[in-house]
Amino acid sequence: MADTFTDDAPAIANQISADLESIETSLGFLKDCFQAICSDWSDTDATGLQVKALQAQNIWLPAHQWKPTSTAGCAALANTELTTNDIQLEYLAFDHTTQEHATISRVMPEGWDLGTIKAKFYWVPTTGCSASDVVVWGIQGVAVSNDDAIDATMGDAVTKSDTVLAGTTGDLHVSDATDAITIGGTPALGDLIHLKIYRDADSEVDTMTEEDAWLIGVMLQVTIDQEVTAW
């Protein structure tokens, strides 16, 4: 790699020929810099070269979009008005004694890289809990393509525990992001993605035994790395 950059500039037009060697050295240095950034780039790749940056995209899935499962489902969507400022809060209630579930189906953005996703849980602890109690949330999913059976096996579940904070009842709690969630099946762009969430009542880590945990919604994060082609 060239190891110098020459900033000598030709003073007048008739000096250009005298400066060609310096210009060539500078251009060679810049080329080597680009090659280092784009490690697989070569002279023959110059035509149509395009560098794409990975981008994260968040998808908000509020409580009212999730449906309790008929088997071992969470409580139906409920809402309550908070007393001071009349804020209307929609939520799904998950108890500690029985593992309860809710599901949603959606199509990911068309630029999705088809890889793993992550999730954060937005929830509220209810009356009777104590600071330092823990709730464990779980999530899993599967991709269904055209002509696939809809009743498909979910990918492995990923759980995330979250601790009740000092404000306890009535305060919003936002979990940290889960580890990477692998979507079952063989995801393809345009697939229908089924997601299932639950409170892991079977976990010894879940210690908020007093009351339900109210789920306000789930924030997904996917990676975008593909161009969207018009239909």
Rounded average pLDDT over 38-42: 51
Q: Is residue 202 pLDDT above 50, yes or no?
A: yes
Over the range 156-194, which residues count as b (16 or more CB within 10 Å of their CB) and which as e?
eebbbebebeeebeeeebebeebeebebbbebebebbbb
pLDDT attached to residue 41: 46
Residue with the larger pLDDT of the pair 93 and 39: 93
pLDDT attached to residue 49: 42
Q: Is residue 17 pLDDT above 70, yes or no?
A: no
116 token code pair: 């793993």
- Contact partners, residue 105, CB within 8 Å, separation at least 6: 192, 193, 194, 195
Kindly list the domain boundaries of the chain, sorted by start residue. Answer: 1-49, 55-224
pLDDT attached to residue 30: 65
3-state secondary structure of 43: helix
- Contact partners, residue 13, CB within 8 Å, separation at least 6: none
Residue with the larger pLDDT of the pair 211 and 106: 106
Q: Is residue 181 pLDDT above 60, yes or no?
A: yes
Q: Is residue 51 pLDDT above 50, yes or no?
A: no
Q: How confident is the model at residue 231 (pLDDT cuts 50, 70, 90)?
A: confident
What is the percent of the chain with per-residue pLDDT over 70, rounded to a whole number? 77
pLDDT attached to residue 6: 55
Give the strand pairing for 173-174 and 118-125. Answer: antiparallel
Rounded average pLDDT over 35-43: 53
- Number of Cβ atoms within 10 Å of the Cβ of 99: 17
- How does pLDDT run across 110-164, given as a tens digit for each residue? 999 999 999 999 999 987 888 999 999 999 999 999 999 999 999 999 999 999 9
Rounded average pLDDT over 7-11: 54
- How does pLDDT run across 62-74, given as a tens digit for each residue? 999 999 999 999 9
Q: How many angstroms separate the Cα of 79 from the Cα of each of 23, 83, 89?
A: 70, 13, 5
Q: How confident is the model at residue 35 (pLDDT cuts 50, 70, 90)?
A: low
pTM of the model: 0.77
Sheet of strand 158-163: strand arrangement: 67-68, 101-107, 192-199, 134-144, 158-163
Rounded average pLDDT over 192-200: 97
From the options 2.60.120.260, 1.10.3760.10, 3.30.465.10, 3.40.1260.10, give the CATH code of 55-224.
Answer: 2.60.120.260
